[in-house]
């Protein structure tokens, strides 16, 4: 348990997809001489209760002061690097002792609306990319996820978490209140978790960071599924354009183009299938019922099932087009074979006639 983590704080996440794959052993080798690094592990469960295929590497990037909503805040900066090519940057904003509910609410509204932190996140991301020698393009917003966790070692039960989670100044309806807190979890009197689409409140009197880690894994899974769904959409459009262009060619060139398209499609399906399986096997909760409920709820709230279904649907479309092109190639081959047989038969007849005539 991290003592600093047990203090009240706000964790602001920016999670980027920067490359296809990262060798985490190389990450440790490169970064550990200059920065404290560690492999992620959950503190409250036995290792066999939760399986993490290749635990991400956590890198401590130091602390700094940031001016937020006109006030100075101490911020601890960490990065977590996943083997799937994802970097999760977290600004852990320490809340001052005795902060009032209204001050916390104002801070939540500021963090929701401000763009001031984006250049700071990009600077830290650039440090990671340069350190790991990753020459990837600048991150596109489409392949970035943001999230905020309000983490408390001490929580005032009289405080209403809904306006904080929604970053809302104005009063909200009872229906909105109920909808926001419907995904609330508690194992005992000393903990509380409320998860929404883009924020969560986590109270743990012992300062365990297991729940934020589970939520972070779920966000990472969402990001990767969105990214590969986008790749499939692009490849589908490219496939239809390639087929349309091939159809304008002569039959021999068209067959050759079909074979090239089929080869590309099969390679794409194999790659996407392998990657999505790795995404879904990143973390498996096997025995701990409470953590399984929290992690499953996070995946459901982030709608990862819909993205998985979308990927599977597009893979099926690609496989259907592969089968169509394959049938077309086979039909043409059959036709060519029939023509060759007829030609041989005619040639044999001609030879026979020539022999009889001469």
pLDDT, tens only, 78-120: 999 999 899 999 999 999 998 999 999 999 999 999 999 999 9
CA dihedral of residues 112, 115, 117, 123 (deg, nearest 10): 140
- In the chain, which residue ranges form alpha helices assigned H by DSSP? 24-31, 101-113, 118-131, 161-166, 174-181, 210-246, 251-280, 289-301, 304-357
Q: Which pLDDT does position 281 carry in this prediction? A: 77
Instruction: For residues 84 and 77, give the distance between their C-alpha atoms in angstroms, rounded to a whole number.
Output: 21
Task: Judge residue 218's burial from the number of C-beta atoms within 10 Å of its C-beta, 0-12 exposed, 13-18 middle, 19 or more buried.
Answer: buried
The gap between the terminal CA atoms of the chain, to the nearest Å, is 102
Name the pTM for this structure. Answer: 0.84
Q: Which pLDDT does position 4 carry in this prediction? A: 45
Please answer whether residues 258 and 246 qualify as being in contact, where contact means their C-beta atoms are separated by less than 8 angstroms: yes
Q: Which pLDDT does position 154 carry in this prediction? A: 92
Q: Which pLDDT does position 1 carry in this prediction? A: 43
Which residues of the chain have a pLDDT value below 50?
Answer: 1-5, 139-141
Please answer whether residues 212 and 5 qualify as being in contact, where contact means their C-beta atoms are separated by less than 8 angstroms: no
Q: Which pLDDT does position 332 carry in this prediction? A: 61
Q: Which pLDDT does position 282 carry in this prediction? A: 79
Q: Which pLDDT does position 8 carry in this prediction? A: 94
């Amino acid at each position: 348990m991290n003592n600093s983590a047990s203090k009240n704080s706000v964790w602001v996440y920016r999670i980027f997809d920067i490359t296809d794959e990262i060798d985490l052993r190389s990450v440790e080798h490169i970064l550990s001489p200059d920065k404290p690094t560690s492999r992620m592990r959950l503190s409250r469960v036995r290792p066999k209760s939760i399986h993490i295929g290749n635990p991400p590497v956590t890198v401590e990037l130091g602390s700094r002061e940031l001016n937020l909503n006109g006030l100075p805040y101490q911020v601890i900066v960490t990065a977590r690097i996943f083997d799937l090519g994802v970097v999760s940057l977290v600004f852990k904003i320490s809340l001052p002792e005795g902060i009032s509910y209204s001050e916390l609410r104002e801070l939540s509204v500021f963090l929701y609306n401000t763009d001031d932190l984006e250049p700071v996140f990009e600077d830290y991301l650039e440090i990671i990319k340069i350190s790991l020698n990753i020459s990837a393009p600048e991150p596109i917003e489409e392949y970035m996820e943001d999230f905020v966790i309000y983490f408390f070692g001490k929580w005032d039960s009289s405080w209403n978490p809904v306006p904080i989670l929604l970053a809302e100044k104005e009063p909200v309806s009872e229906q909105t209140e109920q909808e926001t807190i419907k995904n609330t979890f508690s194992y005992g009197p000393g903990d509380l978790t409320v998860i929404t689409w883009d924020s969560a409140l986590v109270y743990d009197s012992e300062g365990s960071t297991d729940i934020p880690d589970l939520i972070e894994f779920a966000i990472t899974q969402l990001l990767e599924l969105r990214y590969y769904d986008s790749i499939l959409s692009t490849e589908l459009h490219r496939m239809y354009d390639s087929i349309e262009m091939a159809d304008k060619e002569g039959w021999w060139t068209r067959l050759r183009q079909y074979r090239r398209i089929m080869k590309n499609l099969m390679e794409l399906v194999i790659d996407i299938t392998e990657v999505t399986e790795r995404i879904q096997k990143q973390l498996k909760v096997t025995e701990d019922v409470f953590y399984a409920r929290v992690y499953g709820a996070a995946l459901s709230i982030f709608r990862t099932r819909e993205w998985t279904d979308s990927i599977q649907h597009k893979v099926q479309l690609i496989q259907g087009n592969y089968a169509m092109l394959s049938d077309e190639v086979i039909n043409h081959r059959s036709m060519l074979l029939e023509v060759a047989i007829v030609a041989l038969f005619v040639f044999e007849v001609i030879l026979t006639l020539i022999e009889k005539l001469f």
